[in-house]
Amino acid sequence: MTPAAPDLRLELAELEIEPLPTVDATVEVLGSKSYTNRYIAIGALSGRPTVLRRALLAQDTILLAQAVQALGQVSVRLDADAETISPVCGSADDGP
């Protein structure tokens, strides 16, 4: 058996990513649980008010929202009627 080739990605130089001072954008999200879950995480990390409209409120999406809240500092409001998800900086006690 031949040894596996080294993973060249592990040899890349470290890259520091600096946050932008502000972001004001509207993004159309495809109907995907994976994308919805990613945007919940991005919204929670943004530190800014975020509203995901026409979000897919599947069981794994609800569980991710609860997991994000369990980390603290972020609450996630789910509104099934309006099909919105809002990660909000603040207490995790106001959750779904």
Dig out the tokens for 61 from the structure.
């999406």
Write the pLDDT tens digit of every residue in 58-79.
898 899 889 988 988 788 898 8
Nearest CA to 48 out of 66, 27, 21 is that of 21
Query: Is there a contact between 85 and 96 (Cβ–Cβ < 8 Å)?
Result: no
pLDDT beneath 70: ranges in the chain: 29-30, 90-96
The secondary structure of residue 56, as a DSSP letter, is -
Q: Scan for tokens 């031949």, then name that residue.
A: 2
Domain boundaries, the chain: 29-94
Name the pTM for this structure.
Answer: 0.59
How many CB atoms within 10 Å of residue 78? Answer: 19
* Interatomic CA distance for residues 33 and 51, integer angstroms: 16
Task: Could you list the beta-strand ranges (E) of 4-96.
Answer: 52-53, 74-79, 84-89
Q: What is the pLDDT of residue 95?
A: 42
